[in-house]
Structure 1
Amino acid sequence: MSSSVSVILPAYNEVTSIGAVVSAIRCIHPEYEVIVVSDSSTDDTARVAKSLGAIVYEHPYNIGNGAAVKTGMRHASGDVLVTMDADGQHDPADIQKLVSYIPEYDMVVGERSLNGQASVRRAVGNYLYNGFASYVAKFKVKDLTSGFRAVKREVALEYLHLFPNTYSYPTTLTIAVLRSGFSLKYMPIRVKSRKNGKSGIHLVKDGTRFLMIIIKICTLYSPLRVFLPVSGMMFLLGFINYAYTYLSGGRFTNMSATLFMSGVIIFMMGIISEQICQMRYEYKK
């Protein structure tokens, strides 16, 4: 592969692992650009990374993992951008496995096994998110939240403005890429345990954020995938309510009328949103 590669490592207080990660990348791929973005770390993360030859950018205050990735992508010079964790979970030896499938694919994502999940609850949550994302994207999403991925520079930069500043950027990038018609491949990877033993992702708070991002990206690129089921549910509830009130009292109630009207309104909102979405694609062409 002749394209240049930039490896982006968002880091926050990862002094115990950043040295080993940067050293391994530079040993295996000395020709790769290694960028470490310290999200206002309070330890020596930035200093250690810089001493080992990485290009280091520092945030003046803690903004978030996604913001660090955006900073790295804006400054990267490679044709292929690789993002991976700085906590030692991802094996630098797997980078070549991902990069080797580009430019055949627009993005290649490292797929974690069940054993690679941080906990059983996280594994179950990711399974549910993967299923919902698969419905939205019409593609079998195997690992929605994996931060280990290689993507063409022009593809990543096209959706950079959509990235949240939090841990949810992999979710946004995955669905945006799939709904825009770009190609994606999943590649099984090895995942090690964190050296500091703790994760910055909270199941409830970040899980809710992941769900909202899936819905937001879906309504941005394929609105009817959200509006149509909701509209159908309103019609179904209206029919059930009407059947009950008609059989029990021979009446057509205001509740049934409200549910039917809500179904129509939501459906029409979906049609309008779909037309706006199509107009955006025509404008980009």
Structure 2
Amino acid sequence: MQKSAPHGELRVLVIMPAWNEEETIGQTIAELQVKRPDLDLIVVNDGSIDQTSQVAQAAGAKVIELPYNMGVGAAMRTGYKYARYKNYDVALQMDSDGQHLPEYIETLLDGLQRADIVIGSRFAGKSDYEVSGPRKWAMSLLSVMFTQISGEKFTDVTSGFKAANHRGIQQYCDFYPAEYLGDTIDATVMAIRSGCKVVQVPVQMRERQGGTPSSGPIKSAIYLVRSFFAFAISMTRQKTSREG
């Protein structure tokens, strides 16, 4: 595991993937700038057909434009590659719909003192965020599977609120799949099997602050089913070794 420098000495990039989020992204950026003006931000516009890019730029964000809707996996890989190219110490993933609270960024950064990748968990004691039905059962089973392979307690492996140090950034550049379904599962399994230290920390989240979710109940169910396949496939891939 790579040791992190004190927070004040770290160059931190917030990566915010966005697809048709004109209704929420301006306020999300404004809230981040007020609460964490010390952090850099890059918005990866994933082929939006609305005014997402214009709203983000008007709010003061730098925007990378993807030529068409390629999925959040491709958007995040683009963001991590930008972080590597610019030699950031930390890349921090944050949704553009307002679900992730900037005040918990410090909690993620604290976690990097003992890990390479830190996942913010909605279900680790800080939040009243709830899911139910098959989605809850599938997430619970995935959490058990991750706990078994890592030795760390996991309750929210599909969370998109996470931070990575240099080693974690390189891992995501190499293994973040360029599609949505299964991306978090596949990338996190490969990180653990490659020797990265992956932990979770408790955070609060809220419901999206506007707009339309990119996946409804059916797509969410398909995502979770495919996540199990992604987990199984990732477990059969050849391990890589990353020195800290």
Distance 2:196 2:79 in 1: 22
User: 1:140-190 CA deviation, whole Å, 9 max, x = no partner?
Assistant: 322111110011133222342322221533222322222223222211111
In 1, Cα distance between the equivalents of 2:34 and 2:192? 34
Q: Deviations over 1:97-133 (max 9, x none)?
A: 1112324321211001284245433222110111223
Q: Higher relative contact order at CA 8 Å, sep ≥6: structure 1 or structure 2?
A: 2
Q: Deviations over 1:12-61 (max 9, x none)?
A: 00111101111111112212110111111011111111111111011111
Cross-structure match for 2:69: 62
TM value normalised by structure 2:
0.84
Partner of 1:38: 45
Number of residue pairs matched by the alignment: 227
In the aligned structure 2, how far is the partner of 1:118 from the partner of 1:40?
29
Matches within 5 A, 1:145-160: 145-160=158-173
Mark the runs of 5 or more structure 1 residues left unpaired by the alignment.
Answer: 222-276
In structure 1, what residue type is equivalent to 2:163? Answer: A
5+ residue gaps, structure 2, are 1-6
Distance in 2 of aligned mates of 1:5 and 1:18? 20
Alpha-carbon spacing, 1:120–1:188, altered in 2? closer, same or farther (3 Å): farther
Choose the corresponding residue for 1:81, options 82, 91, 106.
Answer: 91
1:101 lines up with 2:111 in the alignment: yes
Identity percentage over the alignment?
Answer: 30
Matching residue's letter, 2:148: Y
What is the alpha-carbon distance in structure 2 between the residues aligned to residue 159 and residue 74 of structure 1? Answer: 8
| Equivalent in the alignment of 2:4 | none
**2:140 equivalent among 101, 118, 127:** 127
Aligned mates of 1:102, 1:30 — CA distance in 2: 20
- Spell out the pairing of 1:235-246 with structure 2 (5 A cutoff): none
Q: Distance in 1 between matches of 2:78 and 2:172?
A: 13
Q: Residue 86 and residue 167 in structure 1: after superposition, are their counterparts in 2 closer, same or farther (change >3 A)?
A: farther
User: Which of these residues, 46, 55, 60, is aligned with residue 53 of structure 1?
Assistant: 60
Q: In the aligned structure 2, how far is the partner of 1:136 from the partner of 1:186? A: 14
Is the contact made by 1:156 and 1:173 (CA closer than 8 Å) also made in structure 2? Answer: no
Q: Kindly report the root-mean-square deviation, in angstroms, between the aligned alpha carbons of the 2 structures.
A: 2.3
TM-score (norm 1): 0.73
Distance 1:3 1:180, change over 3 A: same
Q: Kindly indicate which of the two structures has a greater share of residues assigned to helix.
A: 1
**SS of structure 2 residue aligned to 1:34:** strand
Say which of 224, 228, 233 aligns to 1:216. 233
